[in-house]
Structure 1
Amino acid sequence: MTTDGVRYARVGETSIAYRVLGEEGPYFLDITGPAPGLLWAEHPLTRRHWYQRISRFARPVVFDVQGSGRSDPLSSGIAASVEHQAEQAIAVLTSAGIEHAYLGGWDAGGAAAVTVAAQRPDLVAGLVLVNAYARTLVDDDYPWGVDRSTLDRYLHARRDRHGTGFLLDLLAPSVAHDPEVREFWVDYEQQISSPAQAMALSRIAETLDVRPLLPHVRAPTLVIQSADDAFFGPEHGRYLAAHIPGARLVEVPGRDHLLLWESGEAATAEIETFVTGVRPAARAERVLLAVLFVDLVGSTERAREFGDRRWRRVLDEFERVSSEEIARFRGRLVKNTGDGALATFGSASDAIDCAVAMRRVVREFGLETHSGIHVGDVERRGDDIGGTTVNIASRVMGAATGGEVLVTSTARDAAAGSGTRFVAAGEHALKGLPDPLQLHRVDHGHDPGIRDP
């Protein structure tokens, strides 16, 4: 995803900072309400969870609403308004020379997107409303709105607790205790604006009411709503979908109001389908893991020796102890392979200790294992895994003789400092790999029992 430099649109004497991202596809203007869009697009944590996904099929356009980020501040005593933010969105499209775009409206930004769609239908290819709402305050025919005293408490908290990260608990409870996300969020709150500007931005809620405009929206509309939204209830999204002609409602699972982490992939898949008309193929999640393959040695011969019934009991017992040992060393059993097992671990040392422990337990049955371990990116495909790392671990196991735990150099290096001792096992030409790999054997004296897992 490439990024154009910061440009400025003008609304009267006010400068609005914006950027155009991506290289191809239809334009997708993201209206993020009180949040500065440029910061979302530039920070790696939020960029990879939203804008990199959007840029697969569209060209995101982001801007900082007045009072936030790199745009001009709001004048003293002036609160943000839906109408003014809609003007800013139109100004950004005009400045960028964009004649037709999809509009994405988050939270209060949804009301600004609705306003643009109703007033300037010529600019709007389609409308995407994400956990948005037609009105903030409760009304006789809008009972799920918030009461005035609740809104006042929130507005004062936006000023008095600004920069503490308190909004994360409200907007994204699924990651509220994630240290990386919280560190980002505290910094993000501090970069939005000053406390006074943050309060002025949030005061958009006092007058936000686009209910009269909803029947006038003619653009195709997708409404995405968190099914158990903990900040604003799901009734808001359902109301929008019911009152915009032809709108389609999609409820995604989760409590987060901010759809980045909990259901971001599901939401962007729905947006991609809406924009392109084609549902994207499921994409495998890639994570860094230690992969362990373990197998019983000589299983064909032992099965013939034991007989079918006794061998079945042996395999059942092997599956039981495999599951127990993998869990004991904080791993995940991906699947049993008949006379073996495939598991993943968060660290190479846990994978090694598990393999050695399984070898010791299986020897009590009069049997022997051989194991292979590699560390690298793994593709998660539902409950299964795949990718080059998995293939290499399987080949490494195949190179191991009875009782051996073989690891790649990557796995050995990842276990540095764990106390595990290794013996060089030479280079091995493994099937399917262009070059030989240097393998290492876990020293037979290594005993994970001395380390409390």
Structure 2
Amino acid sequence: MKPTTNYTKSGTFNIAYQVIGKGPVDLIYIPGWVSNIDMMWSEPRYATFLTRLTFFSRLIIFDKRGTGLSDRSDKYSTMDERMEDIIAVMNATNSKKAFLFSHSEGGSVSLLFSLKYPEKTLGVVGFGIFAKRRFSEDYPWAPTDEEREVSNKLIEDNWAHGKLDELRTLVPSLAHDNGFMHWLASYLRSGGSPKAALILHKQCTQIDVTAILGSIQVPTLLLFRKGDIEILVEEGRYIAERIANSKFVELEGEDHLFWTGDTYPILAEIQEFMTGIRPHRTDFNNSKEENKKSGIDIKTVMSENFLYNLKVEEFAKLCGRSLSAFKRDFKIAYNTTPSKWIKTKRLEYSKKLLLESSLNINEVCYECGFVNSSHYIKSFKEQYDIPPHQFRLGHKVF
């Protein structure tokens, strides 16, 4: 099912978080620069990656203060405050000890947290993270002050307009997919206003964890794509050389976003790091016989994920099947096609929301996984011979 967004207090700040899955070990995802935990689920690749993590963990995600659904701030947040946010989310979810999965700017606070709270940290996974974001002779991969000022100006001038050229370098594999690029621009804007984005971007310049790397004792997995020009692979080697109990993995590819491109090696490394068991690539797209070994039940996966904005091919991956095997096994299980079943389930759920919630029609539409209200209203009327607003009025209790 689509995850529920909850809030907890970190000092005076409301921090938004979600819990997905019931795996044997907790995994806390700490995003980079800006995030929006609701919007993550609207992008099929993102949703598929996060859902796959729940196959071996209880996944906890949150928006740090100043971003997404959490309270905004007009000043820089200290690293201590950022760590307090993590503690607040752990307390709210009754998480005693967890792995931390961090991306980009989220890496520094994860490393600091593991040093300050080793009793709460099972390990750290960092994808494309950095130790500092200001050029120096001993760390020449970070931007110079002049380069940073250019970036700040671009944010000031272009953030609200969603200009895409600067974003394409984050994800070369999808640089020519205008649909994805428009989603990415919307996602970033939903994660922070122009002012908030600029504050956080400038705050990155203050980050420097180089001095504490040698003191970190918890197991640390460092994942870097060789062609990533946002955070260079040399930065990963620098961190790995200074953390004694670390594993450094260079991956093929150029994308700075972990959920795009070839995601199998990333998921496989994380699962092996956390569980000691490395899945085969075929487990992500396997045959019926291999699926039996994995124990992935098609009905369980579909009932828990039908509200997500996933393509049929991505549901097949979640179920551990090739597309043809998924369609065949789905027909056996449900005696219909995946598309028809998903549409019917979403419409059934929308009836429940119309009767039991105060959400307006547009909100019901998006909550149920439809991408636009006109398609939802048309589908509802075709299914039940009445438009949704009339259905609600006809069943309203006075």
Structure-1-length-normalised TM-score: 0.61
Give yes or no for contact 1:165–1:189 (8 Å, CA) kept in 2: no
- Structure number with larger C-alpha Rg: 1
Equivalent position amino acid for 1:104 in 2: F
Name the one with the larger helix percent: 2
| Residue in structure 2 matched with residue 47 of structure 1 by the alignment | 46
Partner secondary structure for residue 271 of structure 2: helix
1:132 maps onto 2:93 in alignment: no
Matches of 2:36 and 2:99, distance apart in 1: 16
Equivalent position amino acid for 1:113 in 2: S
1:119 maps onto 2:116 in alignment: yes
| Residue in structure 1 matched with residue 224 of structure 2 by the alignment | 225
- Summarize deviations over 1:35-87 as a string: whole Å, max 9, x none: 22513542242433420121111111111111111111012xx1344443222
Partner secondary structure for residue 17 of structure 1: strand
Matches of 1:114 and 1:377, distance apart in 2: 36
Matches of 2:220 and 2:39, distance apart in 1: 24
How far the C-alpha of 1:88 sits from its partner, in A, is: 1.4
1:70-219 mapped onto 2 (5 Å cutoff): 70-75=69-74, 78-162=75-159, 163-219=162-218
- Summarize deviations over 1:374-412 as a string: whole Å, max 9, x none: xx97989xxxx8944999xxxxxxxxxxxxxxxxxx9xx
Partner secondary structure for residue 283 of structure 1: helix
Matches of 2:105 and 2:69, distance apart in 1: 19
**Structure 2 CA distance for partners of 1:235 and 1:11, relative to 1, 3 Å:** same
1:1-80 mapped onto 2 (5 Å cutoff): 2=1, 4-39=3-38, 41-75=40-74, 78-80=75-77
- Summarize deviations over 1:95-141 as a string: whole Å, max 9, x none: 22211000011101000100110101111011101100011111121
Matches of 2:62 and 2:326, distance apart in 1: 40
- Summarize deviations over 1:147-204 as a string: whole Å, max 9, x none: 1111111122123211333453131121111133113112212211211111111122
| Residue in structure 2 matched with residue 345 of structure 1 by the alignment | none
**Structure 2 CA distance for partners of 1:377 and 1:189, relative to 1, 3 Å:** closer
Matches of 1:232 and 1:193, distance apart in 2: 21
- Summarize deviations over 1:355-385 as a string: whole Å, max 9, x none: xxxxxxxxxxxxxxxxxxxxx97989xxxx8
| Residue in structure 2 matched with residue 297 of structure 1 by the alignment | none
Equivalent position amino acid for 1:175 in 2: L
Equivalent position amino acid for 2:189 in 1: Q
**Structure 2 CA distance for partners of 1:267 and 1:37, relative to 1, 3 Å:** farther
Give yes or no for contact 1:170–1:230 (8 Å, CA) kept in 2: yes
How many pairs does the alignment contain? 298
1:312-351 mapped onto 2 (5 Å cutoff): none
Partner secondary structure for residue 47 of structure 2: helix
- Summarize deviations over 1:288-325 as a string: whole Å, max 9, x none: xxxxxxxxxxxxxxxxxxxxxxxxxxxxxxxxxxxxxx
**Structure 2 CA distance for partners of 1:4 and 1:52, relative to 1, 3 Å:** closer
**Structure 2 CA distance for partners of 1:187 and 1:390, relative to 1, 3 Å:** closer
Give yes or no for contact 1:16–1:88 (8 Å, CA) kept in 2: yes
Give yes or no for contact 1:224–1:252 (8 Å, CA) kept in 2: yes
| Residue in structure 1 matched with residue 394 of structure 2 by the alignment | none
Matches of 2:325 and 2:28, distance apart in 1: 38
**Structure 2 CA distance for partners of 1:128 and 1:286, relative to 1, 3 Å:** closer
1:365-376 mapped onto 2 (5 Å cutoff): none
**Structure 2 CA distance for partners of 1:284 and 1:93, relative to 1, 3 Å:** closer
Give yes or no for contact 1:83–1:115 (8 Å, CA) kept in 2: no
Matches of 1:249 and 1:113, distance apart in 2: 16
**Structure 2 CA distance for partners of 1:102 and 1:241, relative to 1, 3 Å:** same
Gaps of 5+ in 2: 287-311, 329-336, 338-398
Give yes or no for contact 1:31–1:37 (8 Å, CA) kept in 2: no
Structure-2-length-normalised TM-score: 0.69
How far the C-alpha of 1:283 sits from its partner, in A, is: 3.1
Give yes or no for contact 1:3–1:19 (8 Å, CA) kept in 2: no
**Structure 2 CA distance for partners of 1:158 and 1:283, relative to 1, 3 Å:** farther
**Structure 2 CA distance for partners of 1:50 and 1:204, relative to 1, 3 Å:** farther
Name the one with the larger strand percent: 1
Partner secondary structure for residue 18 of structure 2: strand
Partner secondary structure for residue 61 of structure 1: strand
Matches of 1:82 and 1:99, distance apart in 2: 21
**Structure 2 CA distance for partners of 1:272 and 1:82, relative to 1, 3 Å:** same
**Structure 2 CA distance for partners of 1:118 and 1:184, relative to 1, 3 Å:** same
Matches of 2:146 and 2:106, distance apart in 1: 23
How far the C-alpha of 1:9 sits from its partner, in A, is: 2.4
Give yes or no for contact 2:90–2:96 (8 Å, CA) kept in 1: yes
Matches of 1:94 and 1:390, distance apart in 2: 42
Question: Identity percentage over the alignment?
Answer: 26
Partner secondary structure for residue 207 of structure 1: coil
